Amino acid sequence: MTSPREAGYRMPAEWAPHAATWVAWPSHPDLWKENLPAVRGAFTSLVQAIVAGEVAEVLVPDAENERLARAAFGAIASDRVRFHRVPFGDIWLRDTAPVYLASPSASSDRRLATVRFVFNGWGGKYVLDHDDRVAECVAAISGEPAFTRPFVLEGGAVEVDGEGTVLTTRQCLLNPNRNPTLSEAQIEEAVLDSLGGEKLLWVGDGLLNDHTDGHVDTIARFVQPGVVVAMEPRSADDPNREVLATLIRDLESLTDARGRRLEVVRVPSPGRVLDDAREIMPASYVNFYIANASVVVPTYGSPFDDEAVQRIAALFPGRTTRGVNAKAVLAGGGAFHCITQQKPQAGHAPQDGSQD
């Protein structure tokens, strides 16, 4: 079967124009418990930011949850919010929805496609009913040509610059709970072939207590070709102090698919963020989401929240950047990038740089 790369498709950078963003309304009280109202509040703020510049495609499992979502959205439940009755286990569409691809043609007939992978509940740790069918359902609703790939990969495990460079972590992609029969070289080729990439850049470990085994979207993000943003520890008790320092050194030594040495922009780490049981949470400012008109940055009640939002805002001068408290969302395992999946806009060539 022809692969996405052989067919001329590539995953665009997140800052390229979107037609829509897929999200899923937080619907399961048994999962979120007392955090559910706060999670729904943060989710509503995210959707408000998305619809300022594109459509929000919202999954709801049933009529009652659609009613609740419409009530929460209020005035924003307009022609920029579309609801789809699709069963799902939880809201982490970065990992359970398909990844969108685009042909790199600059012509007006630029085509889109989807690619989906085997989903095994983040290495078998969080297996919920329906999550392994979300990508198939979203791809069918979306209607583009659909590729399927016979290996485990979650969307949060990879980060792209839109020019052929893919960034990932060894902790996740080489974890034996994902693809134990594949070698590093085989995994690298499979990822590049699936995303239309030319060069895969490997870094080491993710954050302490990360449910995903080190997804890259919690530690390093492209903000334009050749430029990545990463966090630096500011407090002596930062639980990720060594991991983040090593990450920055590693990133600064890498060159992308075009031969450019990566420029690393530093923002503060949130430091030690604890849940109600006093356990360390994998809090990250770089798990932000880049929508057409907005950038939504997760905050945690940390002393470094304001500085992080300001520094990230400076990277996206053509967009409105807002910080939204994501600590309740993080209690489920991730933040705003983890609960979104962008659909590129057809008819637009991949966009260099992070501005509109």
CA-to-CA distance for 82 and 59, rounded, in angstroms?
Answer: 9
DSSP annotation of 256: -
Share of the chain above pLDDT 90, in %: 93
Which tokens hold the place of 6? 């052989």
Q: Are 138 and 340 in contact (CB under 8 A)?
A: no
* Residue-level pLDDT at 104: 67
Q: What is the 3-state secondary structure (H, E, C) of 74-106?
A: HHHCCCCEEEEECCCCCCCHHHHCCEEEECCCC
CA angle 4/340/45 to nearest 5° reads 160
pLDDT tens profile 124-166: 999 999 999 999 999 999 999 999 999 999 999 999 999 999 9
* Residue-level pLDDT at 352: 40
Residue listed under structure tokens 């939504």: 296
Q: Which residue type sits at 220?
A: A
Q: Which CA distances in Å does 221 have to 66, 69, 149, 278, 351?
A: 33, 30, 24, 28, 16
pLDDT tens profile 330-352: 999 999 999 999 999 987 544 44
Mean predicted lDDT score pLDDT of the chain: 95
* Residue-level pLDDT at 75: 80
CA-to-CA distance for 306 and 189, rounded, in angstroms?
Answer: 40
Question: What CATH number has the domain spanning 18-344?
Answer: 3.75.10.10
Q: Are 291 and 21 in contact (CB under 8 A)?
A: yes
Of 222, 242, 246, 219, nearest to 231 by C-alpha is 219
Listed by start position, the domains of the chain span 18-344
Count CA within 13 A, CB hemisphere, residue 153.
Answer: 25
DSSP annotation of 247: H
* Residue-level pLDDT at 202: 98
Please say if the pLDDT value at position 108 is more than 80. no
Please say if the pLDDT value at position 107 is more than 60. no
The residue-averaged pLDDT of 24-36 equals 97
The DSSP element (H or E) to which 225 belongs, if any, is none
* Residue-level pLDDT at 84: 98
CA-to-CA distance for 290 and 269, rounded, in angstroms?
Answer: 19
336, 338, 341, 354: which is the annotated catalytic residue?
338
Q: Which pTM value belongs to this model?
A: 0.95
* Residue-level pLDDT at 78: 75
pLDDT tens profile 283-326: 999 999 999 999 999 999 999 999 999 999 999 999 999 999 99
User: For residue 105, what pLDDT band results from cuts at 50, 70 and 90?
Assistant: low
Q: β-strand 263-268 against 289-290: which pairing, if any?
A: unpaired
Order of strands, edge to edge, in the sheet holding 320-325?
A: 289-290, 294-299, 320-325
User: For residue 354, what pLDDT band results from cuts at 50, 70 and 90?
Assistant: very low
102: left (phi over 0), alpha (psi -120 to 50) or beta: beta
Please say if the pLDDT value at position 109 is more than 70. no
pLDDT tens profile 227-263: 999 999 999 999 999 999 999 999 999 999 999 999 9
Does the active-site annotation cover 338?
Answer: yes
3-state secondary structure of 216: helix
Of 206, 192, 194, nearest to 257 by C-alpha is 192
4: left (phi over 0), alpha (psi -120 to 50) or beta: alpha
